[in-house]
Structure 1
Amino acid sequence: MADRDGTDVFDALDLTEYEETALSNLLRLGRTTAPNLAEATGIPKARIYGVLDALADQGFVKVIPGRPKEYQSRAPAEIVDRAKENRRQAYESAAKELEAGREAFLAEFGPQFDSATEDVRPAEELFHVVDVGEPSESETRRLYHEAEREVRVLTKSWEYLDSVAPALADALDRGLGVRVLFLHPDRLSGENRRIQAGIVDRLHEEFPGVDFRFATGTLPWRGTLTDPPTDAGGRGDEPGGEAIFLVEEPDVPNHMRQAAITENESFVAGLKRFFDLVWEHESVPSRGE
């Protein structure tokens, strides 16, 4: 739950440096001419009209006819809504283009792939990795959305709840069981203890369907597993589930770490077994115990 400020939205608008400078200044200055904006921002006068036209094309800026023309930013709420709509339209356009080429792509490369792999049957890949941060959080959200029976989370304080909250709500709305094992606050730093307390209060208020406990021992790994096999050997009738996890490395900063993703039934079964043992024998239901 990192602190955010108003300028963070600019990172999601996909603007050039000049476009971001022009828009942020228009929001502060109000209605003005291109030369005046160039003077205020340092954007070259030879570039300012192209920058403003690009912002207008994206729906972020209004052009007021006159001699000279003037420019005014849309209201902040309109800018956010327009950016969301732009992304939606771009996604739909890309999806249609991909779907239109699907059959030709499969017809050309499907037989070649099958032929190339026909005589080669490598051992099942145990896991692949993604960077910690948005890539791992995106994969975690996918697991929530694709889960069919249950979600289990092993975490210190669940500081990334904001990132997965909509996916968590979706899982609960679909009737999935959700269990969370927090690290006991006695084992946390003061800052993580404060974050965890806020997350727990939020679960009570917003997600009362989540069942959680506090692990009294160490947690050598943390992550999310979904739909684990129903028997310990990973050979149940139901699919074997999936997991994303990382081992605890206190001295390695998050930006240098990677999370592992696995669909290996035996591996997921082992993670489930560890979770169950801690849940049943090394955890308490209250932070105060």
Structure 2
Amino acid sequence: MDPNREPTDLLQELDLKEYEAKALARLLRSGRTTAPDIAEATGIPNARIYGVLDSLADRGFIEVIPGRPKHYQPKAPGEILDRAKENRRQQFEDFRGEVDEMRPGFLEVFEPMYEQAEEAVSPISELFHVVDVGEPSETETRRLYRIADDSVYVITNSFAYFDDVEPAVANALEEGIDVSVLFLNPELLPEENVPHQEAIVERIESEYPAIDFRFSEEVLPWRGTFVDPSMDYGSGQAIFLVEETDVPDYKRQAAITENGSFVAGMKRYFDLIWEYESFE
């Protein structure tokens, strides 16, 4: 935590409003004092100061000492943090109770709507959902490496996004996951992408020798990552995008599927290219 941050900024992270944070910061700095003194020191309007202090007292952050005038005493910083946690826990318990109370009416209203909508869902939408290419697709790709139990397969042009998924790749290899990468033949890459592919291949050879890789002899119709395929269609997840050479990646979306049959088909295709139409 940055020690140079303003005290009021730290206090507002405890869900305090601006005036509440100013008043509590002043009390912590000055100790026991009165409402007019706090208002004068902080600029909180006199018409607001008592309501602000009552709110802090209700949350258990300060004590009110009766008298003429009243005095206000801050709790110790550690106790303030403990009270903040307890307040949040109580808020959650209250909210959970409210949700439980509204459950019957909520389900009565929305379950028929949901069931009717589900009946209208197309088979395609059940197979796939999409995310934007870029950080969203890279996040999904990292997730696949994390959940893999046995194997990861990659079809890529130059693996240009390797840096963004490298930690996930390294962790998968440490867990004993097999990783196989099918690159595009460098002769088929745009000239400006060849050095990028060469650099990634060199890194894989030197830093991750457990990764098995080859180069496809032909342009592939799709690229992406899939994990744990099984020929009994019982497992497998994938993220992929179909090649559209005239559409830049930033305008595209990647498809995600958890359909075991579809992933098994991807594996059969991968194996055919790997064995018959690729080279080391």
**TM-score, normalisation: structure 2:** 0.60
Counterpart for residue 272 of structure 1: 267
CA distance in 1, matches of 2:219, 2:8: 52
CA distance in 2, matches of 1:55, 1:278: 62
Find the residue that maps to 2:168 and give its secondary structure: helix
The residue identity in structure 1 corresponding to 2:172 is A
CA distance in 1, matches of 2:238, 2:97: 34
Give the CA deviation at 1:117: 5.1
- 1:245 is aligned, of 240, 247, 250, to 240
Give the CA deviation at 1:189: 1.8
Alignment of 1:38-57 (within 5 A): 53=6
CA distance in 2, matches of 1:56, 1:186: 56
Counterpart for residue 127 of structure 2: 126
The residue identity in structure 1 corresponding to 2:134 is G
Find the residue that maps to 2:127 and give its secondary structure: coil
Find the residue that maps to 1:217 and give its secondary structure: coil
Find the residue that maps to 1:249 and give its secondary structure: coil
CA distance in 2, matches of 1:155, 1:54: 50
Counterpart for residue 222 of structure 1: 223
Give the CA deviation at 1:115: 6.3
| 1:151-171: CA deviation from partner (whole Å, max 9, x where unpaired) | 000000001000000000111
CA distance in 2, matches of 1:105, 1:126: 36
CA distance in 1, matches of 2:224, 2:257: 12
Find the residue that maps to 2:261 and give its secondary structure: helix
Counterpart for residue 163 of structure 2: 162
Give the CA deviation at 1:219: 0.8
Give the CA deviation at 1:118: 5.9
Counterpart for residue 150 of structure 1: 151
What RMSD, in angstroms, separates the aligned Cα atoms of the two structures? Answer: 3.2
Alignment of 1:22-171 (within 5 A): 53=6, 107=100, 112=107, 125-171=126-172
Counterpart for residue 283 of structure 1: 278
Instruction: In structure 1, list runs of 5 or more residues that go unmatched.
Output: 1-51, 59-92
Relative distance call for 1:210 and 1:105 in structure 2 (3 A) is farther
CA distance in 2, matches of 1:132, 1:55: 40
CA distance in 2, matches of 1:116, 1:252: 37
CA distance in 2, matches of 1:148, 1:189: 35
Identity %: 50
Find the residue that maps to 2:194 and give its secondary structure: helix
Counterpart for residue 209 of structure 1: 210
CA distance in 1, matches of 2:7, 2:264: 53
| 1:12-70: CA deviation from partner (whole Å, max 9, x where unpaired) | xxxxxxxxxxxxxxxxxxxxxxxxxxxxxxxxxxxxxxxx8499869xxxxxxxxxxxx
Relative distance call for 1:148 and 1:105 in structure 2 (3 A) is farther
CA distance in 1, matches of 2:241, 2:217: 19
Give the CA deviation at 1:182: 0.1
Counterpart for residue 14 of structure 2: none
**TM-score, normalisation: structure 1:** 0.58
Find the residue that maps to 1:179 and give its secondary structure: strand
Counterpart for residue 72 of structure 1: none
CA distance in 2, matches of 1:104, 1:115: 24
